[in-house]
Amino acid sequence: MPDNEVYWVWLNELRGISIATKRTLLTELGSPKEVFDASPSQVCDLLSTYPSSLRRTYQTSQSLSELWAGRSIKEAQQIVTVHEKHEIRSLVANDNLHQFQFARAPRSPLVLYYRGSLSFSEKPVTGVIGTFPVSSYGRTVTREAVQHLIETGHIIASGLSEGTDALVHETALSLHAPTYAFLPGGLHKAYPAGHASLMERIAEAGAVISPFPYGKEALPFRFIRRNEIFALWCDSLLVIETSLTSGTMSTARYAMANRKRVLAVPGSLLESGSSGTNLLLSEGAEVYLSEPSLNSSFPSPATERVIECIQEHPRTTGELSQILDVELESIMESLAAAEADNRVEYRVDGRWHLVGGE
């Protein structure tokens, strides 16, 4: 049992303090092991210069000092032991596949849990989601879109739910392509339970992913958390059908708020399944009309990292290569793609700027 993983799981699952406090402690102390080893007085003194919100404990009557004095690694060890038994792996905040999402999204968890295999390639992850039941129109659009995305090198992700989600996964599997499923509970069982076989097939071809450890049930508040993390992991999102009150709407809006590319399929004003997608279009989502809509300017993860770095501060090409630890040639390719999309521009000061930025 790797000690490093145990301490990441301990800090991730620690109840009583917020994710913001956990991030602050990591920044100040360096690693989860060093956070655990810190004394109660050290933790309280360290946080004393920060806003009072970071010094409060949540859902407990304990003070921060009392909470820290009673900390224990035992639960984390049990989680890791159970996960090893069921071939569940941990993806921690400094892993290559998670560090980018963790760095740019304050609510991103310290640890994600998964079964299967995650791709370390630069293939974009595209989420395809919708509603239940699926109309015949929605089925046709879903199958055509998923097939086209796979043919053009995308990894397809969805939520394993009934309706569109299941159709997305089934279509990807029928094309012998990997697919990712994000779950609202631990990886001990599928949700809904009737998708247990589908979940196993996804784990064999791609991965099933959850922010919750083994044994955590799919309670309502966990669906919201799952939707946020799903939106963060997708480079782009295609919404096929949805009503105004569906969880699909919250996923799409969270993706838009985090500057993801969101496309929505327009539909009849008389169909409830199109009410949500039509509203998303009015709120700034791009219209999906056919496969060519997907071809235009789907950002690669590499390009998004470059843009994120420029958003923090205008940079030279050499600075971007050094900061991101990427070869100069690859940086130039990403900059060319972003410039073609009119997202960045090279100015007389010798640095790359966001279009419209300072």
Residue 108 lies in a domain: no
Residue 124 lies in a domain: yes
CATH of the domain at 288: 3.40.50.450
CB 108 within 8 A of CB 26: no
- Domain check: are 344 and 197 in the same one? no
Residue 311 domain boundaries: 301-354
Mean residue pLDDT across the chain: 88
Tens of pLDDT, residue by residue over 104-129, are 788 889 999 999 999 876 788 999 99
pLDDT band of 328, cuts 50, 70, 90: confident
- DSSP character for 53? G
Beta strands per DSSP E along the chain: 89-92, 111-116, 125-129, 155-158, 179-182, 207-210, 236-239, 261-264, 286-287, 344-346, 352-354
- Domain check: are 76 and 175 in the same one? no
Residue 322 lies in a domain: yes
Closest CA to 228 of 201, 207, 210, 215: 210
Tens of pLDDT, residue by residue over 330-355, are 788 788 878 877 788 888 888 899 88
Closest CA to 260 of 220, 232, 223, 239: 232
pLDDT at 101: 77
Helix, strand or coil for residue 24?
helix
pLDDT at 131: 92
- Domain check: are 126 and 223 in the same one? yes
- Domain check: are 210 and 284 in the same one? yes
Burial (CB count <10 Å: 0-12, 13-18, 19+), residue 197: exposed
Residue 102 lies in a domain: no
- Domain check: are 123 and 266 in the same one? yes
Closest CA to 129 of 255, 215, 290: 255
More confident: 62 or 343: 343
pLDDT at 296: 54
- Domain check: are 181 and 274 in the same one? yes
pLDDT at 16: 87
Residue where one domain finishes, among candidates 66, 85, 104: 85
Tens of pLDDT, residue by residue over 2-34, are 558 999 999 999 998 889 899 999 999 999 999
Residue 346 lies in a domain: yes
- Domain check: are 66 and 174 in the same one? no
- Domain check: are 246 and 328 in the same one? no
- Domain check: are 179 and 201 in the same one? yes
Residue 215 lies in a domain: yes
pLDDT at 1: 42
Domain count, the chain: 3
- Domain check: are 265 and 324 in the same one? no
Residue 8 lies in a domain: yes
Say what the pTM is: 0.81
- Domain check: are 178 and 237 in the same one? yes
Tens of pLDDT, residue by residue over 225-284, are 999 999 999 989 999 999 998 899 999 999 998 888 999 999 888 788 889 999 999 999
Tens of pLDDT, residue by residue over 149-188, are 999 989 999 999 999 999 999 999 999 999 999 999 999 9
Residue 101 lies in a domain: no
CATH of the domain at 335: 1.10.10.10
Residue where one domain finishes, among candidates 248, 269, 295: 295
- Domain check: are 284 and 306 in the same one? no
